[in-house]
Amino acid sequence: MKCKAAVAWGPGQPLKIEEVDVQDPQAGEVLVRMVATGVCHTDAFTLSGEDPEGIFPAILGHEGAGIVEAVGEGVTTLKAGDHVIPLYTAECGECKFCKSGKTNLCQAVRETQGKGLMPDGTSRFSINGEPIFHYMGTSTFSEYSVVPEIALAKVHVDAPLEKVCLLGCGITTGIGAVLNTAKVEKGETVAVFGLGGIGLSVIQGARMAGADRIIAIDINESKFEMAKQFGATDCINPKNFDAPIQQVIVDMTDGGVDYSFECIGNVQIMRQALECCHKGWGESIIIGVAGAGQEISTRPFQLVTGRVWKGSAFGGVKGRSQLPGYVEDYMNGKIEIDPFVTHTMPLEQINEAFDLMHEGKSIRTVILF
Ligand code: NAD
Ligand code: AHE
Ligand code: ZN
Ligand code: ZN
């Protein structure tokens, strides 16, 4: 079949709307008609050329929701008409990682996914016979995408796909990092660096966990109002202080926070986030994604004296088994999504969504197909 997709032809170039050929789903694969997709900073990161795994030409997008159009041979858990969220972290249930009980990082299709290919080593997308690469196994910036069965979460048929698409990455990542990775407890103190879709979701998660004090940090003060709405108790701009921000936070909190979260992708801020943690027990969770060649550093003494550095991917959430519950938590009012959708637009305007993000004017733009 043919459909419309936004193609990334090369690093730093605007996406171009093209008619692409989409091959039928093969064994174990599913054809999804996309209904909506968010635009996450990671899409911009890969488009910038900073992603060591970034390959072009590709169809980006990994925060989508859609409806199963057709299934390939041997697919048993999904059928045409099912409502689904594509997962960049699959869940096969059988690999060493899935069985470990220690991680959500299923590796069943990760290797080919990182090469922009389906598990059989080929692409389902082409233009004039030339392959176009998949992205994160999801390629949601396309009217139709082919996704492995094990990388689709079946969600409640009544859930509004133009909202729950954001559970395909940003909101789940933030809430999950608090509840699964950090395991924040009632009464604890949290610092959140970066107040985009991820940081605001961390704040939402921290409030759900019952954190007492939630310190929100950003250099764009227009983000503070929404941070407060989600539960931030203090909003600070590092530019307003002479002292390093980690020192400011340590002074504000009688020795440091119990947990901090880096939601920017800046290795200098990752250091600040670690060093604002309380001696003896404070944990810092890295969520932001940093470019090729970037490395983190701190004095080892920071760790010797009990601070802990951790990372979190997709909030530690196992997509097939746990994401349907997140969707239901949205439907029953436990998770907020609507305020995150600051803009909606058709696929043709997708480059404006990237502009809004870079200008700091959006939290999430949702592309409606
Ligand atoms: P975003 O662009 O919407 O938000 C980033 C925020 O950081 C903005 O509010 C910006 O003003 C702020 N910021 C930038 N530089 C700053 C600085 N020096 N000090 C303080 N604040 C600063 O991005 P997003 O979509 O929320 O994504 C955030 C990061 O999380 C990105 O690196 C993204 O790639 C990553 N991410 C990781 C995962 C994961 O599973 N680990 C999932 C989704 C996104
Ligand atoms: N490809 C990059 C790393 C990108 C990255 O860390 N991705 C996160 C999700 S970001 C979603 O917005 C992730 O889940 N990582 C785990 C994984 O298996 O990719 C690089 O540096 O090579
Ligand atoms: Zn993302
Ligand atoms: Zn697995």
Domain ranges for the chain, please list them. Answer: 2-168+337-368, 173-312
pLDDT at 270: 98
Cα–ligand 2 centroid distance for 357 (angstroms): 19
Q: How far apart are the first and last CA of the chain?
A: 17
- Mean pLDDT, the chain, rounded, equals 98
Q: Which residues surround ligand 3, an ion (CB under 5 A)?
A: 40, 42, 169
Report residue 305's pLDDT band, with 50, 70 and 90 as the boundaries: very high
pLDDT at 250: 98
Q: Is 369 in the pocket of ligand 2 (CB under 6 A)?
A: no
Please give the CATH number for the structural domain made up of 173-312. Answer: 3.40.50.720
DSSP readout, 280-337? TT-EEEE-S---TT------HHHHHTT-EEEE-SGGG--HHHHHHHHHHHHHTTSS--
Report residue 18's pLDDT band, with 50, 70 and 90 as the boundaries: very high
Which one from 46, 106, 207, 283 is the annotated catalytic residue? 106
Cα–ligand 1 centroid distance for 196 (angstroms): 6
Give pLDDT tens digits for 238-284.
999 999 999 999 999 999 999 999 999 999 999 999 999 999 999 99
Point out the ligand nearest to the CA of residue 50.
2
Give pLDDT tens digits for 166-220.
999 999 999 999 999 999 999 999 999 999 999 999 999 999 999 999 999 999 9
Which one from 3, 18, 33, 95 is the annotated catalytic residue? 95
Give pLDDT tens digits for 19-71.
999 999 999 999 999 999 999 999 999 999 999 999 999 999 999 999 999 99
pLDDT at 195: 99
Is 363:226 a contact under the CB 8 Å cutoff?
A: yes
Give pLDDT tens digits for 343-359.
999 999 999 999 999 99
Which of 358, 72, 360, 351 has the alpha carbon at shortest distance from 221? 360
Q: Is 288 in the pocket of ligand 1 (CB under 6 A)?
A: yes
Residue nearest (by alpha carbon) to ligand 2 atom 9: 313
- Is 63 catalytic? The answer is yes
Give pLDDT tens digits for 107-122.
999 999 999 999 999 9
Q: Is 168 in the pocket of ligand 1 (CB under 6 A)?
A: no
Give pLDDT tens digits for 57-109.
999 999 999 999 999 999 999 999 999 999 999 999 999 999 999 999 999 99
Q: Which CATH class is domain 2-168+337-368?
A: alpha beta
Q: What is the ipTM of this complex?
A: 0.99
Point out the ligand nearest to the CA of residue 196.
1
Cα–ligand 3 centroid distance for 170 (angstroms): 5
Give pLDDT tens digits for 310-330.
999 999 999 999 999 999 999
- Is 364 catalytic? The answer is yes
Close Cβ partners of 304 (under 8 Å, ≥ 6 residues apart): none
CA dist., res. 307 & res. 266, Å (int) = 19
pLDDT at 102: 98
